[in-house]
Amino acid sequence: MNGPKLNELPDDSEQLGPYVSSLRRRALQSNELSAVRTFSDDFLLKFLRARDFDVELSLKLFLNYHRWRRESPEISTCLSPSSVLDLLHTSYHAVLPQRDHTGSRVLIYRIGQWNPKDWSAFQVFRISLMTSEIIAMETETQRRGLKAIFDLQGWSLGHALQVNPSIARKISSVLSDSFPLKVRGIHLVNEPMFFRPVFAMIRPFLPDKIKQRIHMHGSDFHDTLCDFFSPHVLPPEYGGEGPGIEKACQDWTSQLFRSEKLLQQIATHPTGDIAITPGDSLISEEVDIDQLSE
């Protein structure tokens, strides 16, 4: 059976067993991971689905994920929504409630809401990592990946200075081969001329496959974004008919807070292998984010 067909099978399908066992064996053989010797089936499946059940490619992704975590402790060891509460309250980020027509998750980042005087690139990066860890637990997202829209309205020199070559490398690594999510599209809107030098730092490290999936829409994006997303998916601010962006951001912020315990466990676990699905008891009950303080 080939990868795409395997990708359609449910988590508990017997046909997946040999692939999971094979990846587990290969992972244990590699001497890069010494501390933890057990990996759950669900955890290994994330990497297999992200690479369409090619065990060698899945192993590479698995090892890169762990290396990235080790080399980026400023980002990976603090997955706490409370630590970036005020930034989340500015409606910086949302995962839209509707998947697109291919089943991909659709994420929006409104960079202009990030005041670079108040928040470092590390803190901003943590939000993306929190979201990525949560959506990567969804079987459907493991299969269909994600598309991200970056609204660069308000991009300034202050932002550009924060994205130094080291951060740029970390961005290109997670986009290419260090996180178990398929990146199906990156859409930049309202990008100013002086975003180019920053993009020029990230681009050289991206594989062609990802480069081809990056679309620059400029300020007339209402005419072109709809070639990729149907109206019911996008918020009205982005030319669609879905729920407004503020609401979408609030709802996703609540989801991040409901996952706070889980995120903390992922951040502190030696391998990040917290094998439960969202909705399980580990995720705390709904919290009223207005009642939380720093």
221 binds ligand VIV (CB under 6 A): no
Residue 143 CB neighbours (<10 A): 17
Shortest gap between Cβ of 212 and ligand VIV (angstroms)?
Answer: 13
Shortest gap between Cβ of 126 and ligand VIV (angstroms)?
Answer: 9
Tell whether the torsion through CA atoms of 263, 164, 115 and 94 is positive or negative.
negative
132 binds ligand VIV (CB under 6 A): yes
How do beta strands 183-189 and 93-95 pair? unpaired
- What distance separates the 2 farthest-apart alpha carbons in the chain? 54
For ligand VIV, the binding residue among 59, 106, 149, 174 (CB under 6 A) is 174
Beta bridge partners of 147: 106, 185
Shortest gap between Cβ of 171 and ligand VIV (angstroms)?
Answer: 4
For ligand VIV, the binding residue among 48, 163, 248, 266 (CB under 6 A) is 163
96 binds ligand VIV (CB under 6 A): no
Cα 205 to Cα 128: distance, rounded to the nearest angstrom: 19
104 binds ligand VIV (CB under 6 A): no
106 binds ligand VIV (CB under 6 A): no
Q: How many residues does the chain have?
A: 294
Structure tokens at 145: 């990946």
For ligand VIV, the binding residue among 50, 59, 78, 121 (CB under 6 A) is 121
Instruction: Give the range of 24-32, 120-128, 262-270, 277-285 binding ligand VIV by CB under 6 A.
Output: 120-128
129 binds ligand VIV (CB under 6 A): yes
Cα 136 to Cα 9: distance, rounded to the nearest angstrom: 16
58 binds ligand VIV (CB under 6 A): no
Shortest gap between Cβ of 86 and ligand VIV (angstroms)?
Answer: 16
238 binds ligand VIV (CB under 6 A): no
Instruction: Give the range of 6-14, 145-153, 224-232, 268-276 binding ligand VIV by CB under 6 A.
Output: 145-153
Q: What is the DSSP string of 138-198?
A: -HHHHHH-EEEEEE-TT--HHHHHHS-HHHHHHHHHHHHTSSSS-EEEEEEES--GGGHHH
